[in-house]
Amino acid sequence: MSDKKKMIIVESKAKTKSIGKIVGPGYKVMHCLGHIYDLPAKELGIDVDKNFKPIYKAVPGKSKLIKQLKDAAKDVDEIILATDPDREGESIAWHLERLFPNKKTYRMTFNEITSKAIKEALNNIKEIDMRLVDAQQARRVLDRLVGYKISPLLWRNLNNSHLSAGRVQSVALRMVCEREREVEKFVAREYWTITGIFDRTVEGKETIESEYTGIDGEALDIPNETNANELKDILEKCTYVVKDVHKKKERRRPYAPFITSSLQQEAAGKLRFSASKTMSIAQQLYEGIELGSAGVVGLITYMRTDSVRISDDAKVEAKEYIARKFGKEYVPEKPHVFKSKKGAQDAHEAIRPTSVLNEPKEIQGYLSKDQHKLYKLIWARFVASQMETALVAVTRIDIAGDDKYMFRTSGSVIQFDGYLRVYNFKAKENGKNKKPELPDIGKGEDMILTGVTPIQHFTKPPPRYSEASLVRELEERGIGRPSTYVPTIETLKKRDYVRLEKRAFKPTKWGFIVNDLLGRNFDEIVDYEFTARMENDLDRVEAGDIQWQSIVDSFYGPFAEKLKKASKTMKYEEKTDEKCEKCKADMLVKTGKYGLFLGCSNYPDCTFTKPYGDTGSGSPHEKKPPVPTGEMCDKCGKEMVIRTGRYGMFMACSGYPKCKNKKPYIGDIDCPNEKCDGKLVIRRTKKGRMFYGCSKYPDCDFVSWQAPIQGEKCPVCGSFMKRAKHEGENVKMCARESCGKVISYDDDGDE
């Protein structure tokens, strides 16, 4: 090893321990907690007249950290910038480089925190890639221009300073609003199906359940009960015979290993994790978990990726493991080839375990319950992707009544389970998805109909977007990138544009209003194709094919013209079905000093107004029923319920008005302590002072005097954020002590 003193700078505090253990005492390992320089929070920070030059300033709350980094660098010869291996990480490294003008600085990237990967990265240090930096600058400048220019128009016209617009968030909001309008317009249509129960006529009868499919191969619509019963009478009189038996073998290939979007979707479906929770736990697994005597070990590769590529070393290790664990027959002759979607960045591998030898059951004791669930999902998906194809025998039996009334049933038998040995969650978790095994029936065999059951159905509206399906739709349309899905969704929720109801997004009234205003005044901002093309342009900047200022310039010209026009014409009024109680004219939804209200369309001749009601989802005049909490009132012992008042939700005693006890409602917030699955609750000291603690006390001793900031989570670890004073400035700070992420109030990512 060289005698030169070296320092490595990573983003998160958690990485310093895992990487420090690998590189040894010859290196100082420091952390920067994300960006140290950024666009200023309270001004545009872009010189439009000087080719859109960004004006970067130190992030509020980072002064002390910057001083610590400079002091630590005084006695080192080389500084290695090991921030995350993506555009954002490259930009952070570029800003860090400015702190050390008289030092040799290098860039180091790695896809996993393992001894081999870190040592290889140290042997392949390089210069900062300005193409990645420029791509990040272009995104940041575009997002700032959109957010900083449009948001004030929304504030002024809607009298609500909580609103915002964003280049990606506004397109996602449009998707949710359009789907909701499809749901509202949907009219259910009645239809019926018929199920038949058949017995074989041969000795050793076996029963088959089969679905009626139509007459002579043509599907027949059964619109109502009368038609269903008429058909039932006909079917009961028919003579039945097996008209056809079709058998085939299907080869079912395994799924590709996870990318960011597919991990979020699968974790939502299988584990019921939100997108932000999935990424927060994945971050923990990537940065490292203490595994007893093995120390801190990074368990998965980098979790922000859209590539399904796998390294040769990982393939070899998986092949050897599969052969040893399950047998050589489970190893394919040639490894499966998975293709990344068009436009995917191939800088990183797919999300996989850093070593398949870290079996989920073997390390379960070192992981929290949720960490284990997610790791098991990632581990199984990767191992399965390297296993042999499954072989399934599928049988389809067609039964004909009087040679024309057709019934059909199908079943399957797994002849070789292949990858399903490891990744068969559907069959294990939901028996309804498993097709029955059918008896060995031959063509021409007589059957006896023993039962006919007509079943009523109604067509269903298109499903509302869940977090997982919204991510999938954004990905398929080429809107956003792996690093933007979670911030986009969290911003929609934080702005109260959407609310989750039964795990599906429903736009609030504010969501509809903002979407309509943006669509009328800034059509390109919410245009799907335009936004997707912009993402492609950012990729071209990264590839070095185009200068970042040119794509900003081509966007800003038309955008500035629309801004100028909207500043004069942008106005919100919505006609309602209500009539004025004084003059009987139409009432309009309008905006005023205190938000939305109903006003007469004959204003100023008629000045009648009335409250508009709730701006959330559902009817604006609907009174929401109290929601039980399971917590007992500390004054009278009755259950506390969640109510909605003028200033939002709060907890109140169900014994009101006899008991008027009430307190702020925190919401469903996880305890920030690692490996604790408790929830945050409000407690009081003996002197009555309110504080926030863990519901698992005394097993968990977490406490905080500061309230959680509603709807905001730490971008590093996913814990809740709280208000704090840091170096004389008011900031948001992560509640998890080991993280300590500090951000300014206006650092909202996609503005």
Q: Of the candidates 87, 94, 92, 122, which has an alpha carbon nearest to the alpha carbon of residue 108? A: 122
302 annotated active-site: yes
Element holding 159 (H helix, E strand): none
**Residue 204 C-alpha from the chain's centroid:** 53
Q: Of the candidates 510, 535, 449, which has an alpha carbon nearest to the alpha carbon of residue 750? A: 535
Element holding 659 (H helix, E strand): none
> Which strands sit side by side in the sheet containing 729-734, from one edge to the other?
708-713, 720-726, 729-734, 742-743
**Residue found under tokens 């015979």:** 241
> Which strands sit side by side in the sheet containing 27-31, from one edge to the other?
27-31, 6-10, 78-81, 104-107
C-alpha span between 310 and 300 (Å, rounded): 13
Report helix, strand or coil for 148.
Answer: helix
C-alpha span between 483 and 304 (Å, rounded): 6
**At 732, which amino acid appears?**
K
**Residue found under tokens 């955008």:** 559
- Contact assessment for residue 387 and residue 330, using Cβ atoms and an 8 Å cutoff: yes
Report CA torsion sign: 91, 95, 101, 105.
negative
Count the Cβ atoms, other than its own, within 10 Å of residue 681. 16
10 Å CB burial of residue 252 (0-12, 13-18, 19+) is middle
Largest CA distance in the chain: 96
- Contact assessment for residue 266 and residue 377, using Cβ atoms and an 8 Å cutoff: yes
What does each C-alpha distance from 205 to 49, 164, 198, 202, 447 come to in angstroms?
86, 68, 10, 6, 10
Report CA torsion sign: 227, 232, 238, 242.
positive
Strand bridging mode 595-600 / 586-592: antiparallel
* Token pair belonging to 614: 């709730």
Q: Which phi-psi region, left, alpha or beta, contains residue 264 (left: φ > 0; alpha: ψ -120 to 50)?
A: alpha
C-alpha span between 381 and 375 (Å, rounded): 10
What does each C-alpha distance from 512 to 3, 485, 517 come to in angstroms?
63, 21, 9
- Contact assessment for residue 401 and residue 407, using Cβ atoms and an 8 Å cutoff: yes
**Residue 502 C-alpha from the chain's centroid:** 16
Q: Which phi-psi region, left, alpha or beta, contains residue 136 (left: φ > 0; alpha: ψ -120 to 50)?
A: alpha
Report helix, strand or coil for 743.
Answer: strand
Helix extents (H) in 396-547? 425-429, 467-476, 485-494, 509-521, 528-543
At what angle are helices 130-158 and 528-543 packed, to 10 degrees?
150
C-alpha span between 201 and 260 (Å, rounded): 55
Residues in Cβ contact with 255 at an 8 Å cutoff, skipping those fewer than 6 apart: 381, 384, 385, 423
Residue 104: φ, ψ to 5°: -75, 120
Per annotation, catalytic residue among 302, 330, 375, 465: 302
Count the Cβ atoms, other than its own, within 10 Å of residue 93. 26
List the catalytic residues.
Answer: 302
